[in-house]
Chain A
Amino acid sequence: MEKIRLQVDGVDLEVEPGTTVKEAAEMAGVKIPALCSHPKLAPYGACRLCLVKIDGMRGYPSSCTTPAAEGMKVTTLDPELQELRRGILEMLLSDHPNVCISCEREGDCDEIRAALRKAPQPTGCRYCPKDGRCELQEAVDLIGVDKDMILPFEPEKPDFKSPFFDRDPNLCILCGRCVRICDEIRGVGALSFVDRGRNSMVATAFNKPLEELGCRFCGACVDACPTGSLIERANKWAGPPERIVTTTCPYCSMGCEIGLGEREDELLRVRPAEGSQLCVRGRFGLDFVSDPRRLNRPQVRKGGKLVEKSWDEALDIAADRLKDFRGRKFALVASPSCTNETLYLLKRFAEEVMDSENVLVFDPAVPAPSWAEDVSLEDVRAARSILVVGDPGETHPALELAVRSAVKGGADLLVISPFFSSLASKSAFWIRPKPGTESIVLTGLARPVIERGLQKESADRAENLSTFIAQIREIDLDEAAKISGVSKEEMVKADEVLAENEPIILVAGLSQETMDAASNLSLLLGRRIIAPGVHANSRGASDLLPVAGDVQDLMRAGEVEAAYIVGAKIPEELLSSLKFLVVQDLFLEGFEDEADVVLPAASFAESDGCFTSFDGRRRQLMRAVSARGGSKPDWRIVAELAKKMGGENFDYERAEEVGAEIDRHLGDRKRPEPRFVLPCLSEPTRADDDRPLLLVARPWLYHFGTGIRTGKVPDLRRLTKDEVVEMNPADLSALGVLSGEKVVLDSDRGRIVVTVKADRRVPAGTVHARATAGMDALLPEVFPGQIRTCAVRVVRSDV
C-alpha cells in the first residue's frame, strides 16, 4: 500500500496507512502526553490529553484516534494546547491524591525526613506503590500544572482486595485501559465501568470478587494501568527494584519473556517484559523461588535419617556409591524443566560416566509428529483458520491469546472439546464429542476430506497415503458418529470450513491417539500442526534426549538398582527396586523416605542457560539473584559429580560454554519424511454398571504439573484449595444431591470427598474435575498435564 506523507511539528514523515497521528508523532520522536491510549488497544479517545492541532481541521482532535492522512500538517505543542491540557490535568488531579504533585518542595522529601512508606492508602506519589512508573506523574512533568489550582484531596473510596493485586479507586483516572485490555486482549471482561457521572468507577458486576467472574489473574490490567490504582500486592510497599533482569518463564513451553525485579539480591516482583502478555503462573506464580522450604544444604542418609553434609562430602558419597551401578543397573531421570545445558550434561553423564543408555525424561507431553515444521505464535496470529483440540487456555495461555488475536483478525476457529472453555464459547464452530472420543472425531473428519477430494497437495508426498486412504474409506461414519456423539453432517460441515484455507491444528493436553489422528488430518490439510510441550523445556528435552527404550519398564521390572533423579517426580512404584537414589531438586517432596543423597538445586531465577520453547526457538535464562542457601545450578552439580567419578571434559566455567558445545553437537536436525499413522479406533474409557459415571480431570491453569511449584504460591493455593467438581443438573437430581453438597467420588483406585456443583455445560454422565493433587488418588497413573479419565461412582456424603 502507498505510504502516507504528513508533517508533524515541521518534520516531514512517511508512515503506513492506519497509523494514528500520535503514533506518527512518536516516530518523529515527539512525545505527546497521553493517558488512555495503549499500544495493544484499539483507539479510545477518553482522556483528551493528546489533543493536537491539524491545519484545516476544526477544534483540537485527539491524536490517538485520528488516523494520519496525506498532506496533514500537525502541531503537537504550543501554548494554547498546553493550556488546554493543563486544564484537563488539573481537573483529573483535583480528584486524585495530589499532595506530592502540588508540594512546593516536591522531591526534597529525603532531606526533610526519611520516607514513610507503609501508608494504608496513598495520599501522594511518595506513598504510592506505583514507584515512579506513573504515567500521570509523567504527564504532569510534560505539561506542568499550576500548583495553586489543585484542590486538596481526601481518599474516600475503600479499596478492593483480589488475589494477587489490589484496586484502589482513589487513584483511578478512569482511562479504561484495564477494562479494555481485559475484554479486547484477554477476552474475559471481568472489569467494567459501572454507574454514571460522578459516581462512575471501575468495578465488577455487583461488586463480586474477580474469581467469580472468570478472571484468570493474568495481571494484564495491572500492567496496563497508568497509575497506582491497580497494583500487585507482593512487596507492594517495598519500593522499586534496582534492576530488572529479563529471563524466561519456567512453567509451560510457550517461553514467555518475564522481567524479574531484583534489589539487594532479593526477588521483589515479576513484570512482563516490554510488550509481552503473561498468564498467572509467569506473572504471579514464582514465589517458590524464595520459599523457606527449599533445600539448602546437601544431605546424606545415615542410619535411616538424612543428615547435612558439605558439597564435597555429599558428592564423594554419591560418586562412590554410583560406581557400583554402572551400565543397565543405572537410570537417569530428568525433568523437562531442566535447561538444555543441564540435560546435555546429564546425557553425557549417563553415557560417558555411567555407561548407561537409561535416560528417562519424565514428560507428560505427547510431542508433535517428528515431521512437523515449527509453527510460531506469529503464524498463529496470522492464521486464516485454526482447529483447536483441547483447551490451551488452561495449559498454554499464551497460545490461547494468539488464537484469540487471529479470530479478531477474522480467522475461522473450530474447537473440538467436550467441555466449555473460553475459546469454545467464542468459536462459531464448537464440536462437542463425548469425553475421550476426540480421536474418533478427528479420524472421522478425514473421511469427508478424502471422499470429496479436499486434501491439499502436501498429502501426496506422505508415506502410507494409499493404505491410509483405503483404511479411512472403510470407516463407518455412522458408527463414529454414534460413539462420539458428533453427527456426520457436522463433520462434513467442519471439513468444508477447514479446507477453505490451510488450517493450523493445535492439540494440547491429549493422548497419543488424539495426536496421531490430528497429525493425519493435518497431513491432509496442509501440514501445519502444533502440539506444545507441557514444560518449559519439553522441546529441548525431546531434541536432546530422544526417548531410548522404555526405562520405565526396566524400572518396574526391577532391573534398575540406582537412579539419579533431577528435578522430576515419578510414581513410587518405579522406586521400589532401587538400592541407591540421588535426588537433585528445589524441594524434597515425594522422596523424603527414599533419597539416599539429596543435592539442593538452584532455581531458574538463579541460573543461566536456555530452554527451547514449543516453536523450536532458544529462550535465554538469565541469573537474577544468587543461588539461595547452599544450592547450586543443576548443570554445575552434574559436572562436579561427573568429575568426581573420573568423567573427562566436564570442566566448564560458565553455562554458555556448555551451550556452545550443544550447538556443535546438535548441528542440523533432519526431519523425517511425513507419514500417516494408520488409524486405530480404540474405545474410550467407559463407565460401567458399578461405576456409572465418567470422571474427566482436565489440566488446570492454577495447578501446574505435580503442583509443587504452584502450591508454594499462597494465592494460588487459596484458589485451588477446595476440591470442586461439576456435574450436569439432571445427573445430580437423579442422585438426590443438591448443588454445593459434599459427595464421595469412588474409583477402582481410591475415594475422595469433594463438593459438587451443578453446571448445565457439563455433558450428562460426566463428572468434570480439575487435575489437582487430590484427584491423583482416583486417577490412573498417567502424568499430570494430560486429560485423565476413569469410571467413578458418586455417593452422597454424610459428613
Chain B
Amino acid sequence: MEHKIREMVRDADGSRGELIPLLQKVQSEFGYISQEAVEAIAEEMSLSESRIYGVATFYSEFRLQRPGEHRVKVCMGTSCYLRGGKVLMERTVQTLGIRPGETTPDGKFSLERVACVGCCARSPVVVVDDEVHAKVSSSKLDRIVKNLGGES
C-alpha cells in the first residue's frame, strides 16, 4: 500500500494544493486514510503528518479509520434531517457507541453521515452496506443493527 501511495503522490506532482484531491484518491482506493498513508504522503510531499491529519479531519468526507464490516450511513440531507434524521443519528451513535467517521473496536460497524441519497420521498433514510432502508424509526434501526449481529 505504501508503495502505491507514493506513486499516487508522484502522479499528483506533489505540490501542496494537491493535498485534498490526493486524500480523496487515497480514500477511494483504500476506503479510508490510514496512518501509513499519512506517513507516506508526509514524506513524499515534505508536509508534516499533523498538518495532513488536520486537513483530513477538517472535512467530514474523510475517514481515518478502517471501515467496519458493515458501513452504516445515516442520511442528514435536508429532507431526512427534518423528518427525524437527527434523532436517528443520535440513536445510532448511542447504539453503536461511536461517532460518525469512527469504527467500533471490534471492527464490525462503522458510522458515516451522508447528505441526500436521492430517496427524499421515503425519508428518513439509512443506508447499510449499499442497501437503502426507508422510513426508519428508532426501533427499526435497532432491528437492522441486531440482524447484522450487533447488540442493541
A interface residue numbers (CB < 8 A to B): 183, 188-196, 203-206, 208, 213-214, 425-426
Contact = CB atoms under 8 A, between A and B. Distances in A.
Contacts of A206: 35, 38, 49, 53, 64
Interface string B29-60: 00000010010000000111111111001111
B49 A196 contact: no
A183 B48 contact: yes
B16 to A, nearest CB: 12
Nearest to B34: A206
A-B pairs with lowest CB-CB distance, top 4: A189-B48, A192-B54, A205-B53, A192-B50
A322 B112 CA distance: 82
B48 A188 contact: yes
A479 B124 CA distance: 75
A195 to B, nearest CB: 5
Given A205-B38, A206-B35, A206-B64, A190 B50 contact: yes
A191 B60 CA distance: 20
A426 B51 contact: no
B53 A196 contact: no
Interface string B89-103: 000000000000000
A213 B49 contact: yes
Given A206-B35, A206-B38, A196 B50 contact: no
Contact of A191 (B47, B50, B64): B50
Contacts of B59: 196
Contacts of A193: 54, 58
Contacts of A189: 47-48, 50-51
Contacts of B49: 204-206, 208, 213
Given A206-B35, A206-B38, A206-B64, A192 B46 contact: no
A671 to B, nearest CB: 40
A204 B53 CA distance: 8
A248 B40 CA distance: 40
- The residue among A189, A203, A213, A426 with the most chain B CB atoms within 10 A of its own CB is A189
A190 B42 CA distance: 12
Nearest to B64: A206
- The residue among A190, A191, A203, A205 with the most chain B CB atoms within 10 A of its own CB is A205
A195 B58 contact: yes
Given A206-B35, A425-B46, A426-B46, A195 B57 contact: yes
B35 to A, nearest CB: 5
Nearest to A210: B50
- The residue among B46, B50, B57 with the most chain A CB atoms within 10 A of its own CB is B50
Contacts of B64: 206
- The residue among B49, B58, B59 with the most chain A CB atoms within 10 A of its own CB is B49
A756 B26 CA distance: 30
Contacts of A208: 49
B96 to A, nearest CB: 18
A626 to B, nearest CB: 44
Interface in B52-103: 52-54, 57-60, 64
Given A205-B38, A206-B35, A206-B64, A194 B46 contact: no
Interface of B: 35, 38, 46-54, 57-60, 64
Contact of A214 (B35, B48, B58, B60): B48
Nearest to B46: A425
Contact of A205 (B46, B52, B58, B60): B52
Contacts of A213: 48-50
Contacts of A205: 35, 38, 48-50, 52-54
B51 A183 contact: yes
Contacts of A190: 48, 50
Given A195-B57, A196-B58, A196-B60, A204 B46 contact: no
Contacts of A204: 49-50, 53
A215 to B, nearest CB: 10
Given A191-B50, A192-B50, A195-B57, 7 more contacts: A192-B48, A192-B54, A194-B50, A194-B58, A196-B58, A204-B49, A204-B53
A203 B51 CA distance: 10
A192 B60 contact: no
Contacts of A194: 50, 53-54, 57-58
A192 B47 contact: no
15 contacts: A188-B48, A189-B47, A189-B51, A192-B51, A193-B58, A194-B57, A196-B57, A204-B53, A205-B48, A205-B54, A206-B38, A206-B64, A208-B49, A213-B49, A213-B50
A204 B49 CA distance: 8
Contacts of A183: 48, 51
A207 to B, nearest CB: 9
A195 B102 CA distance: 13
A213 B50 CA distance: 8
A97 to B, nearest CB: 25
Contacts of A195: 57-58
B61 to A, nearest CB: 12
A759 to B, nearest CB: 10
Nearest to B49: A205
A627 to B, nearest CB: 44
Contacts of B50: 189-192, 194, 203-205, 213
A426 B57 CA distance: 26
Contacts of B51: 183, 189, 192
A455 B20 CA distance: 46
- The residue among B38, B46, B48, B51 with the most chain A CB atoms within 10 A of its own CB is B48
B101 to A, nearest CB: 9
A559 B51 CA distance: 61
Contacts of B58: 193-196
B78 to A, nearest CB: 19
A208 B52 CA distance: 13
A11 B146 CA distance: 72
A208 B59 CA distance: 20
A554 B47 CA distance: 53
A790 B132 CA distance: 66
Nearest to B101: A195
A191 B53 CA distance: 10
Contacts of B35: 205-206
Nearest to A193: B54
A183 B54 CA distance: 13
A188 B52 CA distance: 13
Nearest to A208: B49
B38 to A, nearest CB: 6
A323 B65 CA distance: 76
A214 B43 CA distance: 12
A428 to B, nearest CB: 11
A494 B45 CA distance: 23
A218 to B, nearest CB: 15
A411 B125 CA distance: 57
A760 to B, nearest CB: 8
Nearest to B6: A760
A194 B64 CA distance: 12
B30 to A, nearest CB: 16
A712 B48 CA distance: 31
A181 to B, nearest CB: 13
Contacts of A426: 46
A190 B38 CA distance: 13
B45 to A, nearest CB: 11
A208 B39 CA distance: 12
A205 B51 CA distance: 8
B62 to A, nearest CB: 11
A316 B22 CA distance: 75
A685 B138 CA distance: 74
